[in-house]
Copies of this chain bind each other. A is one copy, B any other.
Amino acid sequence: MPVTSTTKVKAGPRERLLETATRLFYAEGVNSVGIDRILAESGVAKGSLYSTYGSKDGLIAAYLETRRDRQTLRIAEAIEKVDDPRQKVLAVFDAQARLFAERGFRGCAFVAASAEAPRGGTIDVATAGYRDWQRQMFLELAEGLGAEDPAALARQLHLLYDGATLSMRLDRDPSVAGDARAAAAVLIGA
Q: Are A170 and B29 in contact (CB under 8 A)?
A: no
- When C-beta atoms are compared, the residue in chain B nearest to A108 turns out to be B166
The proximity string for A residues 47-73 relative to B, scoring 1 for CB distances below 8 Å and 0 otherwise, is 000000000000000000000000000
13 of the cross-chain contacts (CB-CB < 8 Å) are A31-B31, A32-B116, A110-B170, A115-B115, A115-B116, A155-B179, A158-B163, A162-B162, A162-B167, A163-B164, A163-B166, A183-B183, A186-B190
Additional A-B contact list (20), CB under 8 Å, known A29-B115, A160-B183: A31-B31, A110-B170, A114-B169, A115-B115, A115-B116, A115-B169, A131-B170, A156-B183, A158-B163, A158-B167, A159-B164, A162-B164, A162-B166, A162-B167, A162-B170, A163-B164, A165-B166, A183-B183, A183-B187, A190-B190
